[in-house]
């Protein structure tokens, strides 16, 4: 991903060194998938697209591989291992910029994936007159102080603002401020560090789009609750091959020809699941030109597709599969097929439908030259 040279002298820090446990994701939330990309990648692309470089990303210890994969292809990325606190992580990232000595730096939380260009513009403009600037939003709800479980004195919302990131600073001043931070208390953000060092911080208009991902519901809200995909596949029937359908070996005088075990039913189902999450087709994940898949069990393809769906935040709702052939008869094997597919899909057998039909002797299936399969998969988010 190329960057524009429109902001020379402006660098960025992305704080992505936390664990994000409250978000309920299988990995720290900054590396979890959100709207088709790892969370941290969204803001990194926005900063790079605004012509900002370098971009130093503070990550947890041992997260180099997952972070590199999440940010692959973005120009100007540099990874540093963060500290025990947010302030320590930011300082380590700022120290990493010391050799390049940028004039300005934007410090952003990875958990705020939507970063409007207009906010960046307002922050940078404010630094012409102030050493620091932060985006804020008004408080619209009534506020009160809490006295245990009882309402206490009211708070004046007119005097309060909601603070967002990125927060922008002249680089030498914010580096000095972090170096001088006493560490007696945890800093909630970089503006607190800057203000403690005597820097004046300008307020600029923020954006509701800069919402911070914190809880599992924030991830669920980003996904449609239901996704549907369809799949279709055909394989030739030939003598001398085993016949595998829905992961079950069927005794028959012919088998299906293909690079793997040619389980036409599973292949159609894999395409349906991949289609539901927009992840291409079976051939893009398991190319027939790759010798490692010669004779491979199609079970592996299906569990791979289910894993990709889970990584995107979806589980199997139900699947509906239709086999199109004159022979063999599917009825005697139907329940074994349903049970095998349910095990591979990680769902109950009641969520798996296997049907069969003929083409009334018409076409390749009617002539017994091959078997076709159609599949529909419903995926549920959350």
Which residues are 170's β-sheet partners? 104
- 114, 138, 191, 259, 290 from 159: Cα distances, Å: 27, 9, 17, 69, 65
One domain, residues 243 and 190: no
Residues in a beta bridge with 258: none
Q: What is the reported pLDDT for 382?
A: 58
| Tokens, residue 164 | 């967002």
Do both 126 and 252 map to the same domain? no
CA distance 80 to 196: 25
Rounded average pLDDT per 10-residue block, the chain, 382 residues = 62 89 66 86 95 96 95 95 94 94 96 94 97 96 90 89 97 97 82 96 96 78 81 96 96 92 96 94 87 88 92 90 96 97 96 97 95 97 68
Domain membership of residue 70 (yes or no) is: yes
User: Residue 95's domain is classified under what CATH number?
Assistant: 3.90.550.10
Q: To 5 degrees, how large is the angle CA 67–CA 71–CA 74?
A: 150
Alpha-carbon gap, residue 276 to 271, rounded angstroms: 8
Are 247 and 337 a contacting pair, CB within 8 Å? Answer: yes
| CATH number of the domain encompassing residue 361 | 3.30.1330.50
Domain shared by 175 and 30, yes or no: yes
| H or E stretch covering 95 | helix 86-96
pLDDT of residue 222: 60
Domain boundary among 220, 241, 262: 220
User: Does residue 258 share a domain with residue 181?
Assistant: no
C-alpha 103/C-alpha 84 separation (Å) is 27
pLDDT of amino acid 20: 58
Establish if 38 belongs to a structural domain. yes
DSSP string computed for 265-332: HHHHHHHHHHHHTT---HHHHS-TT-GGGTT--THHHHHHHHHHHHHTTEEEEEEEEEEE-SSS-SGG
Domain end (from 196, 220, 244): 220
Report how many domains make up the chain: 2
In a domain, 235, yes or no: yes
Asked if 200 and 249 sit in the same domain, the reply is: no
Mark whether 240 and 312 lie in a shared domain: yes
What pLDDT is stored for residue 120 in this prediction? 96
Same domain, 243 and 165: no
Buried b (16+ CB within 10 A) or exposed e, 256-289: bebbbbbbbbbbbbbbbbbbbbebeebeeebeee
- Torsion angles phi and psi, residue 174, rounded to 5: -75, -30
Q: If we measure between CA atoms, which residue out of 337, 208, 201 comes closest to residue 269?
A: 337
Structural domain of residue 74, as residue ranges?
10-220
Q: Among candidates 60, 34, 43, which has minimal Cα distance to 117?
A: 43
Is 65 contained in some domain? Answer: yes
The answer to whether residue 327 is domain-embedded is: yes
Given a contact cutoff of 8 angstroms between Cβ atoms, the answer to whether 187 and 193 are in contact is yes
Return the C-alpha torsion angle 304, 290, 246, 364, nearest 10: 140
Same domain, 156 and 243: no
For the record, the structure tokens of 288 come out as 């027939």
- Residue bearing tokens 């995909």: 229
Domain shared by 134 and 283, yes or no? no
Within a domain: 4:
no
Burial class of 210 by CB neighbour count within 10 A (0 to 12, 13 to 18, 19+): buried
Residues 197 and 240 in one domain: no
Establish if 2 belongs to a structural domain: no
Tell me the two tokens of residue 302.
């299906």
Extract the runs of DSSP E, i.e. beta strands, from the chain: 10-15, 33-34, 37-38, 55-59, 77-81, 104-109, 132-138, 143-147, 150-155, 161-163, 167-170, 201-205, 226-238, 243-245, 248-250, 255-256, 314-324, 352-357, 370-381
What pLDDT is recorded for position 25? 60
Do residue 272 and residue 374 come from a single domain? yes
Are both 187 and 318 inside the same structural domain?
Answer: no
Q: Is 33 helix (H, G, I), strand (E, B) or coil?
A: strand
Q: What was the pLDDT predicted at 69?
A: 95
> How many angstroms separate the CA atoms of 369 and 238, rounded?
8
- Classify residue 244: in a domain, yes or no: yes
State which of 194, 220, 246 marks the end of a domain. Answer: 220
Task: Tell which residue, 286, 258, 256, 259, has the closest CA to residue 271.
Answer: 286
């Amino acid at each position: 991903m190329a960057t524009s040279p429109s902001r020379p002298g402006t660098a960025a820090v992305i704080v992505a060194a936390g664990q994000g446990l409250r978000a309920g994701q299988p990995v720290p939330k900054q590396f979890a998938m959100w709207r088709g990309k790892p969370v941290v990648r969204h803001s990194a692309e926005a900063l790079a697209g605004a012509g900002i470089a370098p971009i130093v990303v503070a990550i947890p210890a041992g997260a180099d591989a997952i972070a590199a994969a999440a940010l692959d292809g973005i120009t100007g990325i540099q990874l540093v291992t963060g500290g025990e606190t947010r302030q320590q992580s930011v300082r380590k990232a700022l120290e990493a910029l010391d050799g390049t000595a940028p004039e300005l730096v934007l410090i952003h939380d990875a958990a705020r994936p939507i970063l409007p260009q207009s906010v960046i513009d307002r922050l940078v403009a404010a630094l012409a007159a102030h050493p620091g600037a932060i985006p804020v939003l008004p408080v619209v709800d009534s506020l009160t102080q809490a006295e245990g479980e009882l309402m206490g004195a009211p708070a004046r919302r007119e005097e309060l603002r909601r603070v967002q990131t990125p927060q922008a600073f002249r680089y030498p001043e914010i580096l000095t401020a972090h170096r001088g931070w006493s560490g007696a208390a945890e800093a909630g953000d970089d503006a607190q560090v800057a203000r403690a060092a005597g820097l004046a911080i300008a307020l600029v208009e923020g954006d509701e789009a800069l919402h911070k991902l914190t809880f599992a519901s924030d991830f669920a809200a980003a996904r449609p609750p239901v996704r549907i995909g369809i799949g279709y596949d055909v394989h030739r029937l030939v003598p001398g091959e085993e016949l595998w359908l829905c992961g079950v070996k069927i005794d028959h005088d012919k088998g299906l020809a293909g690079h793997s075990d040619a389980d036409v039913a599973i292949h159609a189902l894999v395409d349906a699941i991949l289609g539901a999450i927009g992840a291409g087709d079976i051939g893009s994940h398991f190319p027939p030109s790759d010798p490692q898949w010669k004779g491979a069990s199609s079970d592996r393809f299906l569990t791979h597709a289910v894993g990709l769906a889970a990584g995107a935040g979806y589980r199997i709702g139900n699947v509906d599969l239709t086999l199109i052939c004159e022979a063999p008869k599917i009825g005697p094997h139907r329940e074994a097929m349903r049970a095998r597919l349910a095990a591979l899909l990680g769902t109950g057998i009641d969520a798996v439908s296997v049907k069969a039909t003929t083409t009334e002797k018409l076409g390749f299936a009617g002539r017994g030259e091959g078997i076709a399969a159609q599949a529909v998969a419903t995926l549920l988010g959350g």
